[in-house]
Amino acid sequence: MLTDTDLQALWLTVRLAATTTLILFLLGTPLAWWLARSRAWWKQPIGAVVALPLVLPPSVIGFYLLLMLGPNGPVGQFTQSLGIGTLPFTFWGLVVASVFYSLPFMVQPLQGAFEAIGERPLEVAATLRASPLDTFFSVAVPLALPGFITAGILSFAHTVGEFGVVLMIGGNIPGVSRVASVQIYDHVEAMEYADAHRLAAVMLIFSFLVLLAMYVWRPGHRKGA
């Protein structure tokens, strides 16, 4: 059986992943749409910035986020001026770090889905006098629905599996920043291998089910697709 601290860590992990995924939908959708439609020369540099978490070590990302969010950083000074203190070692600090770290897992699938739509459906909507906003919600979003589902699953699963970034930004505070990956690390460090095995098994089964759902659901793998 999982311990109370294990269950607490799992609940915090799910809460963090759900919050991060929701924010990423709000931020990543317009960004992906712009990257898919824009022809500006600075589209490529922005795309490279979005993809940085794919190649940077989590400790590097966590370190620079810690400097930015800390009391002497620009974001930290701004949050202190608002009277809400600093974000490191808080749940919302974890959310900010997770949003940045999981951004490419939201933006890239959506960008690919938007690009796959092509120009024809959007041109037809324009000839019917649909506004750009109507075209986006009535044409682009339904056609890109597989991309939305893939992006949501990947973002949620990637956030669940975070370790380095959350440890740098959140530390190891029970009920505040001790997520499942950090809890497993604590069990191993304390040589509590049975507890580590049980919690790791839960994470392993979850990861497998996520990947299985993606492979089974993918439109290209359906009969007659």
Is pLDDT at 92 greater than 90 in this prediction?
yes
- List pLDDT tens digits, range 136-186: 888 889 999 989 988 999 999 999 988 889 888 988 888 888 999 999 999
Question: What does the alpha-carbon distance between residue 139 and residue 112 come to, in Å, rounded to a whole number?
Answer: 16
pLDDT of residue 130: 77
Mean pLDDT of the chain: 88
- Of 102 and 135, more confident: 102
Q: What is the mean pLDDT of residues 67-75?
A: 91
Is pLDDT at 214 greater than 80 in this prediction?
no
At 1 the three-state DSSP class reads: coil
Is pLDDT at 97 greater than 70 in this prediction?
yes
Q: What is the mean pLDDT of residues 38-49?
A: 89
Give the Å distances, CA to CA, from 28 to 25, 33, 200. Answer: 5, 8, 30
Question: What does the alpha-carbon distance between residue 69 and residue 72 come to, in Å, rounded to a whole number?
Answer: 8
Is pLDDT at 223 greater than 60 in this prediction?
no
pLDDT level of residue 222 (50, 70, 90 thresholds): very low
Q: What is the mean pLDDT of residues 77-96?
A: 91
Is pLDDT at 45 greater than 50 in this prediction?
yes
- Return the half-sphere exposure (C-beta side, CA atoms, 13 A cut-off) of residue 33: 18
Q: What is the DSSP string of 171-223?
A: -S-TTTT--HHHHHHHHHHTT-HHHHHHHHHHHHHHHHHHHHHHHHH-GGGST
